[in-house]
Chains A and B, each alone.
Chain A
Amino acid sequence: MSERKKQHAFVLYVENEPGVLNRVASLFRRRGYNIESLTVGHTERPGVSRMTILAGISEGAAQRVEANLYKLVNVLSVEDVTFTPTISRSLALLKIEAHDESRHRLMEVVRVFRARVVDLAPRSLIIEITGTENKIQALVDVLRPFGILEMVRTGQVVMSRGVERPASEDGAVTRELSLEAEASASV
Chain B
Amino acid sequence: MTTARVCGLLLQSNKCVPRRIGVVSRLNRQRSAKGVHGLIRTGAEIIWECLEHLGAEYVFGYPGGAILPAYDAMGNYGVHHVLVRHEQGATHMADGYARASGRVGVALATSGPGATNMVTGIATAMMDSSPIVCITGQVGSGLIGSDAFQETDITGITLPITKHNYLITRAADIAPSLREAFQIASSGRPGPVLVDITKDAQNGSCEFDWNATEPPLRRPERRFVLDEARLAEALDLINDARRPVILAGHGIILSGAERELLAFAEVTGIPVALTLLGIGAFPAKHRLCLGMMGMHGEAWVNEAIQESDLLLAFGMRFDDRVTGNLKSYARSAKKIHVEIDAAEINKNVRVDVALIGDLRNVLQRLLPGIERADTGEWRARIEASKHESAVRDIQNLPDDGHLYAAHVIHDLWRETHGDAIVVTDVGQHQMWEAQYYRHDKPRTLITSGGLGTMGFALPAAIGAKFARPDAEVWVVAGDGGFQMTMAELATLVQEKLEIKIAIINNGYLGMVRQWQEFFYDGRYSSTPLLSPDFVKLANAFGIPGFAVNARAQVIPALRAARQQAGPALINFQVEQEDSVFPMVPAGADLHKMIRRPTPLVERVSDV
Contacts and interface: CB of A to CB of B under 8 A. Distances in A.
Interface stretch (B345-353, B358-366, B459-467, B562-570): B345-353
Interface stretch (A59-67, A85-93, A99-107): A59-67
Contacts of B576: none
B168 interface: no
Given A60-B346, A64-B343, A76-B219, 16 more contacts: A1-B350, A15-B218, A19-B159, A19-B167, A22-B156, A22-B159, A23-B159, A30-B160, A63-B345, A64-B346, A67-B345, A71-B343, A73-B163, A73-B164, A76-B218, A77-B219
Contacts of A77: 219
| Top-9 shortest CB links A-B | A67-B343, A67-B342, A73-B164, A68-B343, A76-B219, A64-B343, A30-B160, A26-B159, A70-B222
Interface string A14-50: 0100110011001000100000000000000000000
B303 to A, nearest CB: 25
5 contacts: A1-B350, A22-B156, A64-B343, A67-B342, A70-B222
A77 to B, nearest CB: 7
A18 B159 CA distance: 13
Nearest to B227: A171
Nearest to A13: B219
Most chain B beta carbons < 10 A, residue from A18, A30, A67, A70: A67
A149 B222 CA distance: 49
Contact of A19 (B155, B163, B222, B347): B155
Nearest to A1: B350
Interface size grouping (class) on chain A: 20 to 34
Contacts of A23: 159
A71 B184 CA distance: 10
Interface of A: 1, 15, 18-19, 22-23, 26, 30, 60, 63-64, 67-68, 70-74, 76-77
Contacts of B164: 72-73
A63 B218 contact: no
A64 B347 contact: yes
Interface in B204-239: 218-219, 222
Contacts of A63: 345-346
A73 B184 contact: yes
A63 B346 CA distance: 9
A73 B218 contact: yes
Interface string B152-193: 000110011001100100000000000000001000000000
Contacts of A76: 218-219
Interface string B325-359: 00000000000000001110111001000000000
Nearest to B180: A73
A34 B218 CA distance: 29
Contacts of A67: 341-343, 345
Nearest to B229: A171
A136 B155 CA distance: 39
Nearest to B349: A1
Nearest to B219: A76
Contacts of A26: 159-160
A70 B346 contact: no
B167 to A, nearest CB: 8
B350 A70 contact: no
Contacts of A22: 156, 159
A19 B222 CA distance: 22
Contacts of A1: 350
A132 B346 CA distance: 33
A16 to B, nearest CB: 13
A70 B159 contact: no
Nearest to B184: A73
Interface string B382-393: 000000000000
